[in-house]
Amino acid sequence: MSSNTYPRQKPENESTAQFVGGAGKVAGATLIGVLMLGSSVVAGALVGLAISFQNLPDVRILRNYTPSETSHIYDVKGKHLTSLHGEANREVVPLDEISPHLKRSVMAIEDSYFYSHKGVNVTSTARALRANFNKGETSEGGSTVTMQLVKNLFLTPERAVTRKVAEAVLALRVEQVFKKNEILELYLNQIYWGHNNYGAETASQSYFGKSVRDLNLAESAMMAGIIQAPEELTPFYNMKAATERQHVVLQRMRDLKWITPEEEKQARNYKIKLGKITSFQGSEIPYVTEAIVKELTKKFGRDAILKGGLRIQSSIDTKMQRTAEDTVNRSYRTGADQMALVAVDPRTHYVKAMVGGLDYKKSQYNRATQALRQPGSAFKPFVYYAAFASGKYEPGSTIVDSPVGYPDGDEMYYPQNYDRSFAGAMSMRRALEQSRNIPAVKLGQEVGLNKVIEICRSLGIKSPIEPVISLPLGAVDVTPLEMATAYATLANNGWHSDPTLIIQATDSKGGLVLDNRPKLRLVLDPWAAAATNEIMQGVINQGTATSAQIGRPAAGKTGTTSSEKDIWFVGSVPQLSTAVWVGNDDNTPLGSGATGGTVVAPIWRDFMSQAVRDLPVESFRPPSDFQKP
């Protein structure tokens, strides 16, 4: 049997005699006789009633109707991460992608004359009117699929004769404008199936863990039965009631000769395997998906995400993400209550992994994107870059590490090194490797603090920055994402693109609505960037971060603030830049001796050694590849 044609069987027990029942009900029989003169008579009468319903909506607007639809987020390789929806969890599918078993099951129990009536089934309407007349109230529906559709889309759920007439009028109008298959497709994608599932596809995925195209007869009959009372007949909570209703549907299909007795028996004996409730499911990587939602909300608004049926391909590499989470959980240290890690691809500035804290259930605050913390000496490479870009310095240039003071308002500011000593004349390379503070402050004064701030803006740092004398020592609040992005731009020899967690987004039909392909632009001098990368490699090879060595060329810098309130390591290889921050949410010190080199560099090493294991070993381009400014 074709999925779109059905036998025009007379429903069982439809004879007028059964509704009359005796001489005491002659008046009711007369009413039935009048109402059953023919569909054309009733249809004509209802059309006449339309004059009284001038304010009914124009059904032609359904041509452009788009139901709310669930959005989905995927990782870079297409793995599903989470679903986003409001009240309605819905997937819209074409009619030809819905199992023929479900289409027949629904029509058998809801509207077996769907393909022959013109929107109103006279017999069903007569039966409902008689029942309501006898009870003195509206207690029985008699609605066709078309009438149910217009009720859900246009009318209130109140039980009243006027609403029932309005249903009929609108149903007749819909049938004049739309083809039967169009109406059935709208209906099957619109109706409620329980557990916030709207539409056949989402309900099928929830109840049976499979697409609606793959439903068999037993599953289809159970789903069709649920429509009558979704919350009471859900097999998740009441399998007995759902099965009893399923049998009613199968019996009806057999009576209509839409299935054979053998098919009915097989369906009754089929062991149903339930799926799981899918609405409002949480994400396995909530810090990431929440950050994606925030980025999307800025572009499209909240409603577009919850109702727009977007398909969002994120830049997140799930394998790398798991590595990041495992590393953070494994590296938890007494004395610090939080950590954050962000990994960015320097070639694209796509975020590949993000950990915003130790436990999302305890704290939804994303420290990777929201926490403004001082980076300490991890800020120094930006100052060294500024010096190299000025054309006055190169890695071997000499700078003197000696006492110095600068006016700071009414007082003098005397920078100090971490060990309170002075090393005298040294190369700039050595000064950064040993993270000497005084040379950095001197360079900041030489090149100009406003120039340093300008460079930070080019690197993508948007947090507020003041030109204070101690700025070269990290006296500024930044996020781990900003630091990872800035180092990524250095690693890519000055080529920058705005960081993003999203590669692209499409609508439910595949139309591109957001294209986040990298828009790289050269924001730094390539020679100066290469020179900065070169001396940062020395930090790892023989400087303060030897514990960050991963067996391949890497550049990075430790960061430790005064009183050890924030400790960092930020570093990169040409294919990946990663920032790791450790600290306390209440900004209390971590304790004496907690430094970026001793605590955080090993965490960075553990993550990076796994994250880049399958990537080819690449070296940073040397300064000699570029022209010195």
pLDDT in tens, 587-617: 888 877 788 999 999 999 999 999 999 999 9
Angle ∠(259,263,269) on CA atoms, nearest 5: 140
Q: 26 falls in which pLDDT band (50, 70, 90)?
A: very low
Q: Give the helix/strand (H/E) hosting 47.
A: helix 39-49
User: How far, in Å, are 436, 517, 560, 564 from residue 423 at the CA level?
Assistant: 9, 47, 20, 23
CB distance 541 to 606 below 8 Å: no
d(CA 627, CA 532): 14
**For residue 138, is pLDDT > 50?**
no
**pLDDT at position 30, please?**
39
CB distance 405 to 398 below 8 Å: no
Strands 576-583 and 566-573 turn out to be antiparallel
Please enumerate, as own/partner, the contacts of 389-395 that have beta carbons within 8 Å and a separation of 24 or more: 389/455, 389/524, 389/525, 389/528, 389/629, 390/446, 390/447, 390/629, 391/628, 391/629, 392/446, 393/428, 393/443, 394/428, 394/531, 394/623, 394/628, 395/427, 395/428, 395/429, 395/531, 395/534, 395/535, 395/623
**pLDDT at position 108, please?**
95
Place of tokens 């309130």: 565
**For residue 53, is pLDDT > 70?**
no
What secondary structure letter does DSSP report for 204? Answer: H
d(CA 215, CA 218): 8
Q: Name the least confident of 21-25, 95-99, 388-392.
A: 21-25
pLDDT tens digits for range 375-410: 999 999 999 999 999 999 999 999 999 999 999 988
- Dihedral of the alpha carbons of 498, 503, 509, 510, in degrees to the nearest 10: 110
CB neighbourhood size of 420 (10 A): 6
Q: Give the helix/strand (H/E) hosting 72.
A: strand 71-74
Backbone φ/ψ region at 236: left (φ over 0), alpha (ψ -120 to 50), beta: alpha
Q: What rounded mean pLDDT belongs to the chain?
A: 88
Residue 561 half-sphere exposure, CB side, CA atoms within 13 Å? Answer: 22
Pair of tokens at residue 469: 């004398």
Q: Which domains does the chain have, with CATH numbers?
A: 26-54+118-178 (no CATH), 323-625 (3.40.710.10)
What is the total residue count of the chain? 629
Residue 79 half-sphere exposure, CB side, CA atoms within 13 Å? Answer: 13
**pLDDT at position 73, please?**
96
d(CA 443, CA 451): 11
**For residue 325, is pLDDT > 90?**
yes
Q: 60 falls in which pLDDT band (50, 70, 90)?
A: confident
Backbone φ/ψ region at 353: left (φ over 0), alpha (ψ -120 to 50), beta: beta
Computed on alpha carbons and rounded to an integer, the radius of gyration of the chain in Å comes to 35
Across the range 200-228, mean pLDDT stands at: 97
CB distance 427 to 433 below 8 Å: no
Q: 281 falls in which pLDDT band (50, 70, 90)?
A: confident
**pTM of the entire predicted model:** 0.83
SS3 550: coil
**For residue 133, is pLDDT > 50?**
yes
Amino acid at 57: P
Across the range 166-185, mean pLDDT stands at: 91
Report the share of the chain in percent with pLDDT over 90: 76
